[in-house]
């Protein structure tokens, strides 16, 4: 069974731009979560989607948003990029976030210049 895939793997943007990251979960998984990993703040939860509905949200500004499609693929969007948004963005999928284990993708490395 194929694992979680994330595209693109690397991205360079400039301040003020917006970016969209994509995540394809493991086949059959309906829950997708997003995390931000930085050297200073570590791994922080962004949000979680299940069956196209956002069920949980972390403490991030409204510039960070996401959505999930009917095939469970998910995208996250960051608008008006700031230097501090440079991070590794990880996506994880599970059968159900509440009861199941999360499996992570390789991440998207975003650099904001």
Closest separation in Å from C-beta 37 to other proteins: 9
CA–CA separation, 113 and 26 (whole Å): 32
- Cβ atoms within 10 A of the Cβ of 75, count? 17
Of 48, 49, 72, 81, which one interacts with other proteins (CB under 8 A)? 48
60 near other proteins (CB under 8 A): no
25 near other proteins (CB under 8 A): no
Closest separation in Å from C-beta 35 to other proteins: 8
Q: Under the phi-then-psi rule, with left for phi > 0, alpha for psi from -120 to 50, and beta for the rest, what region is 42?
A: left
Residue 33's H or E segment, with its range, is strand 31-38
Of 36, 78, 102, 112, which one interacts with other proteins (CB under 8 A)? 102
* Residues counted in the chain: 113
104 near other proteins (CB under 8 A): yes
103 near other proteins (CB under 8 A): yes
If we measure between CA atoms, which residue out of 46, 112, 39 comes closest to residue 81?
Answer: 112
Question: Using CB under 8 A as the criterion, which residues of the chain lie in contact with other proteins when the complex forms?
Answer: 4, 33, 35, 42-45, 48, 55-56, 58, 90, 92, 97-98, 101-107, 109
């Amino acid at each position: 069974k194929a694992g979680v895939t994330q595209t693109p793997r690397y991205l360079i943007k400039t301040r003020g731009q917006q970016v969209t990251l994509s995540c394809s979960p493991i086949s059959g998984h309906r829950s997708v979560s997003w995390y931000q990993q930085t050297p200073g703040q570590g791994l922080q939860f962004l949000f979680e989607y299940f069956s196209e509905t956002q069920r949980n949200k972390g403490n991030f500004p409204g510039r960070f948003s996401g959505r999930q499609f009917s095939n469970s693929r998910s995208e996250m969007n960051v608008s008006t990029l700031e230097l501090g948004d440079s991070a590794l963005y990880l996506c994880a999928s599970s059968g159900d976030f509440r009861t199941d284990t999360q499996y992570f993708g390789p991440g998207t490395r975003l650099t904001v210049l």
